Every structure is written in C-alpha cells, then in structure tokens.
Amino acid sequence: MFQTVPETPQPIPAKVRGTIPKWIRGSLLRNGPGRFEFGNDKFNHWFDGMALMHKFNIDNGSVTYMSKFLESDAYTMNLSQNRIVASEFGTLASPDPCMSVFDRMKSRFDFQKISTDNCSVNYVIYKGDYYVSTETNFMRKVDAASLKTLDKVDWSKFIAVNGATAHPHYDPDGTVYNMGNSYGKDGTRYNIIRVPPQKSSSGETLEGAKVICSIEPERKMKPAYYHSFGMSENYVVFVEQPLRLNIIKLLINQLRGKSFAGIMSWEPELNTIFHVVNKHTGKKHPVSFQTKAFLNFHQINAFEDQDCIVLDLCCQDDGGAVQLFELQNLRKSGEALNEVYKSFCKTYPRRFVLPLDTIANGDIAQPLNYSTATAEKKADGKVWCTHENLHDQTLEMCGIEFPQINYAKYNARKYRYFYGCGFQHLVGDSLIKLDVETKQSKIWKEDGFYPSEPIFVPYPDSVKEDDGVILSAILTPHQDKNTFLLILDAKDFTEIARAEVPLQMPYGFHGIFVPERN
C-alpha cells in the first residue's frame, strides 16, 4: 500500500454488493501519495509521494472509480527529467549535475524550489471552488468532475504567509479560517487567516484574505509544527506543541543536502500551549492555557459552553511518529515490521476545557459538570489544564485517528459522535464510531483490509446527529482481493453496501464528499 500505482483516468464501473440508497448522489474525492520514484531516484518518506487524486462517483445506486495524478509543477518536472527535481518533505532533490558550483549552491536556497506544489494532503474549498492542498504556500485548483489539474495558487501573492494548513475551517456563510507561518525580519509568526466568502463570480481565489492575528512563538527560532487547529463559534484555538522546527537547522540542512524533515525535533520538556483568539476581533485572550507535552495532528471539534471552550483533540504522548513513516520502515515485513509497530505511539481522543472567565490563583476548577477536565490558575497567571479521556478500554489497544464529525450541523457546536480509523498498527485497520458522552464505541473491521478516513454524509432532511452514512475506501495489499468503497449506516455502524474495484490503491490521507448539484 506504499508502492507506485498507475492512474485510472477513465471511470470504470464497480461491482456493487448490497443496495446503495438512491439518495446518495455525488462523489467521494480522496487524496494521497501515489508515485514514489522517477528513474533511479526514490523518495524517502511516505509524505513525499506524488499526489494521486481518487474519485468514487455514486449515482442511482451505481459506482464508478477513477484516479489521476495531480499535474503539479513538481510532478511534471520530475516526469520530464525522469529524476527527482523537486524537493519534498523528506527528500531533498539533487541539483542538476550540469549546473556550475555557484548555481548548485544558489539552488539550495531557492525557496520557490524547496516549497512544493505537490498538494497530496487534502481537498479544500475556497469561494465555492475545489483545491488540493498541502502545507506549503501553494494550492492547486482542480475540476471535481474530471480531476483535471487547473490553476496554481500562491498564498504569498495574496497575504504575507509562507504556507497554510490543509485543514481550514468553514463558517456557515462561506467564510474560511486557516493558519500559516510567516518568516521575516521580525522572526517567525503563527498567523490566523480569514478568507471572506465569494461576493460575485469575479475575483481571484484568495482575494480579501487577511491576517486577523499574529502570534509570537514561545521560541522565535524554533516554532512549533502544526497540522490543524480548533475553531468554536467565536474563537480560534491554536495548539503550540513541542514538535519544533529549527529555523537555523533549515538553512544548514539545505547546505548539507538534507531534507526539511531533518529540522523537526520532539522536545517533551516543553509544555503544550493553547492560544485562544477571538475570530471576529482578532484579539488574543490574555490567559496562557498550558498542559503537558503531547503531539496532535487532528482536532475533533471545539465548542463553547458555560463561558468555556471545550476542545477535543487526537493526542499522542510521543512526537517521533513522523520519522516512523519513512518508506524504508513502511515497506519492511515480518519481525522487522513488528519492531516498527512496537515503537508506534497510539493516539487517543482527549478533551480539554479552557475557562474564559477568571479563576482564583491556586484553585483547581472543574469548569463543566459533564467533564472531568480541570483548570488550575498558577501564581504566574498561567492556567494549567488536565484532560479528560474520551474513550473506554475498548480503544486502549488501537487508539483513533483521522477524526470526522457531522461537520455541516455540528462543527463548533456541542456534539456527541465522531468517527475515525483505529490504528493498531501504522495504518488504520478498523473504522470506529465513538460516543463522547458514554465513551463507548462501535467498530467495523475485516481482516486483511485497511480503511481510509471515514466521511459522514447526512440523510436528506436529517434530524438526529448520526442520521446518515459513512463512506470509506477500504484498501488491501493482497493481490487476490479487491479494494472497495464501503457504505455504513452511521447510526448502528452496520454495512449497507460495498462497491468493489479490481485495482490496487495506495494508502492516502484525506478526502471530501461532493454532492451532485441539481
């Protein structure tokens, strides 16, 4: 599941087992790495693979599948020269051997060349259009119907940031919030970005984008890595965690011919800091909320209740996970692969409660009667937070990642259910529905198959939170078995149907459901 596969540019029919409800009409779009070598050059890390876009189209109970490589500048340059020309997260491209020594040195520090447009992480929506995104300053617009690669969009042309996350948040009116770093003479800043909704058919993608708040890192030359952030109705919550990026090392590594991945270090002696910002005014809350070190890739949800922000996150206590996803580890087998599994830290859902009103020094408060999470104000004015576990013993052996909720109705609101992948190993091997009130879970699992991130699709005119279905692409490394699109009833987590495709697919990252427009 970590090998190069060919694209399938023309839709092929899937074999449906069961009955797909006629009301499900639209496409599950998935994104992730799909090519790991060019000529004799091979990428080092799973994150480096060239973006392969997947589409399962559902219409009138039938399913078709297609896939296309994103025709990014990185992909087309690598393809045309049959070698790795564009640097990625874990692979630094070698300069052209025909260059002079001076030009080779210069190319090491060309930011445009080390900032890739290989947008392999997620699909995002700005002003009604679909884009694939990664964590650099580039996005690529795509046609959701044909998977055709369209315009290249550079964040830095619209706003003073050097990148943005692949996990923006959306307000009901179409306003988009995101976060991105900036590197300048004043040092590094974490920036909260607001992109207004589309006012007319004219105008460019990020027109009107604005930094509403800039946050100074705890350590200017060692900012935190982050993959997502939390957003409630009125606040953005940024998690500054102890997985740090060494800016000095970035420059040195370029000279030494080492990749971006080498500048990351896990520093568990540092606390994790929650920065709370009013998303309407851009004003930062004066209190510093802190807790013990943890690593977080994905937030689950955030909402406000009784003058508090409730922040639910997927957390792990060790920051070494990124290095484990080197391809040399993922392609091991037998006992060697088991040793990699043993070093993999499980990810668990945790709830933090951040009181927005003042609490007395030394008091250990339990701000909400339905959560055991606490907050204690220290003598220095900082508030120390302890979490509540949102799972029972059922998930102790696997943990959970790739969380998804009924986003349209429950993002930034009090909710009860979320869905994710159970990770007993390095890739998800089960689908999980978790009740955050009872902490009980429902699990779907089938030996030899590995589910992708579950996507919730609500019933038309749904009333209850879990009225809908779960869509997940189920992958397998076994040549004698088929990949399939799984459709589960989101309420009882039982299988409704599956649509089998006689093709191998590599394990990917994130996706989105695009409903058919009437």
357-361: long-range contacts at Cβ-Cβ below 8 A with a sequence spacing of 24 or more? 357/307, 359/383
Q: How far apart are CA 160 and CA 33, in angstroms?
A: 29
Task: Decide: 84 and 94 in contact? Cβ < 8 Å.
Answer: yes
**Is the Cβ–Cβ distance between 24 and 36 less than 8 Å?**
no
Longest dimension (CA), the chain: 68
Beta strands in 155-267 (DSSP E): 169-170, 176-184, 187-195, 210-215, 230-231, 235-240, 243-245, 264-266
Q: Buried b vs exposed e over 295-316: b needs ≥16 C-beta within 10 Å?
A: bbbbbbbbbbeeebbbbbbbbb
Contact 213, 261 (CB under 8 A): no
Going residue by residue through the chain, which has 518 residues, state the pLDDT in tens, using 9 for 90 and above: 899 999 999 999 999 999 999 999 999 999 999 999 999 999 999 999 999 999 999 999 999 999 999 999 999 999 999 999 999 999 988 765 554 444 444 444 444 445 899 999 999 999 999 999 999 999 999 999 999 999 999 999 999 999 999 999 999 999 999 999 998 777 789 999 999 998 655 567 899 999 999 999 998 889 999 999 999 999 999 999 999 998 888 777 666 667 777 889 999 999 999 999 999 999 999 999 999 999 999 999 999 999 999 999 999 999 888 888 899 988 888 888 878 877 888 999 999 999 998 776 777 889 999 999 999 999 888 999 999 999 999 898 889 999 999 999 999 999 999 999 999 878 899 999 999 999 999 999 999 999 999 999 999 999 999 999 999 999 999 988 999 999 999 999 999 999 999 999 999 999 999 999 76
Question: What's at 433, amino acid-wise?
Answer: K
Those residues whose C-beta lies under 8 Å from the C-beta of residue 28, and which sit 6 or more positions away, are: 55, 56, 58, 455, 471, 473, 485, 511, 512, 513
Q: Give CA–CA dist 451/495, Å, rounded.
A: 13
Angle (CA) 170 171 174, round 5°: 80
| 3-state SS class at 103 | helix
Residue 114 phi/psi, 5° resolution? -95, -5
d(CA 375, CA 276): 15
Amino acid at 332: K
How far, rounded to the nearest angstrom, does the alpha carbon of residue 67 sit from its chain's CA centroid?
Answer: 20
